[in-house]
């Protein structure tokens, strides 16, 4: 059993019991003040470990650093980022975690009273964890492994280095963010305050995953202006915004949608359509791994809007682009040793690394755009955002080993 097993287990179970669900549409920062409850817990825990600069900001970010133990305080400053909030997609209140020790395989009864059964055939990833100790919920809430599995691993790594100042390492920077699940976690993130030369986010499932390429992405927001009149006298007068929205939907390539694409294939994803004859609103994600194809997709949306305005009059359809991000690939390829060290650390800890061209973005995408190279290491949870989420304690403990080994490799780094 890993020396970090009990520490990471205790931390994770304690953290998931704190309700940190974020809320889309909120105008506050963080979007829910309850996220600060975990922020205060982490800040105080870091202070108790001897981290003197641990801080919880007004916007709900936790910053902290562990000074270099290298001669003259030298060494690259390496940062780690994880998010504290849980998804609004499933209930996150009153989480009741429990541990299934030495999972033997097969179905898992999560809640006998409510007959909530997790079937192995429905969740085949369970088969990868036979013999390991798995944390589940009672089937009525999500667990919060996304991303508290990462928070627990990073905090346990931090404790290790605080307890062992004799081990050489460069400056270690930590940041725990709110509101990642609603795409707002980096809006108040300060690269200057963080103070890292290089950084890694830690998020995602399946131990051993390494992400240094993501989609290029944006959200097209369409506002369609119609003209309502009584249907009985509508001829030649009515302009139905709902129908015009339907025409836009029909213009999008039918097979270039998320449900028909995989791997490096891009897509259009209309995910909000609401309105009336007078006004209709559409939100549509535009995604592609290749930058030129991404720009072509954006140009195609613009051409659709231009055609609809030609048909129905200038200003009928207004377009606004939001949530624009780019693949971190172009930034990361300038510092290839970040990936090499990560793979080496995993292999030396008995973890087989695998690369992921992520079909989405990460906080690392935004942070990389800010000028700080930031690939992603997966946190080891499974089935995020739902009531059948689970986490292997062994996976979290192994990630602690990987982070420690990674920092030891950086301690020997030559510019």
Query: Of residues 19, 45, 59, 85, which has the active-site annotation?
Result: 85
Exposure class string for 36-60: b at 16+ Cβ within 10 A, else e: bebbebbbebbeebebeebebbebb
Query: How many CB atoms within 10 Å of residue 71?
Result: 8
Query: How many CB atoms within 10 Å of residue 207?
Result: 26
297: its two tokens: 């997709």
- Radius of gyration of the chain, Cα coordinates, nearest whole angstrom: 24
**Distances from the Cα of 368 to the Cαs of 60, 207, 317, 332, 364, in angstroms?**
21, 23, 33, 8, 6
Instruction: Report helix, strand or coil for 45.
Output: helix
DSSP 317-380: EEEEEEEEE--THHHHTTSTHHHHHHHHHHHHTT---EEEEESS--HHHHHHHTT----EE---
Check if the beta carbon of residue 117 is closer than 8 Å to that of residue 371.
no
Residue with tokens 């990073």: 154
What is the spatial distance between Cα 270 and Cα 284, in angstroms, rounded to a whole number? 4
Query: How many CB atoms within 10 Å of residue 129?
Result: 19
Check if the beta carbon of residue 279 is closer than 8 Å to that of residue 318.
no
116: its two tokens: 């909530």
CA atoms within 13 A of residue 6's CA, in its CB half-sphere: 1
Assess whether 159 carries a catalytic annotation.
Answer: no
Contacts (Cβ under 8 Å, ≥6 apart) of 108 = 100, 117, 118, 120, 126, 136
Query: Of residues 59, 180, 205, 382, which has the active-site annotation?
Result: 180
Q: How far apart are the first and last CA of the chain?
A: 36
Check if the beta carbon of residue 106 is closer than 8 Å to that of residue 131.
no
Eight-class DSSP state of 233: G
Assess whether 85 carries a catalytic annotation.
Answer: yes
* Residue of 161, 47, 38 whose CA lies nearest to 92: 38
- What residues are annotated to the active site? 85, 180
């Amino acid at each position: 059993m890993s020396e970090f097993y009990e520490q990471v287990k205790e931390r994770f179970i304690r953290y998931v019991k704190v309700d940190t669900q974020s809320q889309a549409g909120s105008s506050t920062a963080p979007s829910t003040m309850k996220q600060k409850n975990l922020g205060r817990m982490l800040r105080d825990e870091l202070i108790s470990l001897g981290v003197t600069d641990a801080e919880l900001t007004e916007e709900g970010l936790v910053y902290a650093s562990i000074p270099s133990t290298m001669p003259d305080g030298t060494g690259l400053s390496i940062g780690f980022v994880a998010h504290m909030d849980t998804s609004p997609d499933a209930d996150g209140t009153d989480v009741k975690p429990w541990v299934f020790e030495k999972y033997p395989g097969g179905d898992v009864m999560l809640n006998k009273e409510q007959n909530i059964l997790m079937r192995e055939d429905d969740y085949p990833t369970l088969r990868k964890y036979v013999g390991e100790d798995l944390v589940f919920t009672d089937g009525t809430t999500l667990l919060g492994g996304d991303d508290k599995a990462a928070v627990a691993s990073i905090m346990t790594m931090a404790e290790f280095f605080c307890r062992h100042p004799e081990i050489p390492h460069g400056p270690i920077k930590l940041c725990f963010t709110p509101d990642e699940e609603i795409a707002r976690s980096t809006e108040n993130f300060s690269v200057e305050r963080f103070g890292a030369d290089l950084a890694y986010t830690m998020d995602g499932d399946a131990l051993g995953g390494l992400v240094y390429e993501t989609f290029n992405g944006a959200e097209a927001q369409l506002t369609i202006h119609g003209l309502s009149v009584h249907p009985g006298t509508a001829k030649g007068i009515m302009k139905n915004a709902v129908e015009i929205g339907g025409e836009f939907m029909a213009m999008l390539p039918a097979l270039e949608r998320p449900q028909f694409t995989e791997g490096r294939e891009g897509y259009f994803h209309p995910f909000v359509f609401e309105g009336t004859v007078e006004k209709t609103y559409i939100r549509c994600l535009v995604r592609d791994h290749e930058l030129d194809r991404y720009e072509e997709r954006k140009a195609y949306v613009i051409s659709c809007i231009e055609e609809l305005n030609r048909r129905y009059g200038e200003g009928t359809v207004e377009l606004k682009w939001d949530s624009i991000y780019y693949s971190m690939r172009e930034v990361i390829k300038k510092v290839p040793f970040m990936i090499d060290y990560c793979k080496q650390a995993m292999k030396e800890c008995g973890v087989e690394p695998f690369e992921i061209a992520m079909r989405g973005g990460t906080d690392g995408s935004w942070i990389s755009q800010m000028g700080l190279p930031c690939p992603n290491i997966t946190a080891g949870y499974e089935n995020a955002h739902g009531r059948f989420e689970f986490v292997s304690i062994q996976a979290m403990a192994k990630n602690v080993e990987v982070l420690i080994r990674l920092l030891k490799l950086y301690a020997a780094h030559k510019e």
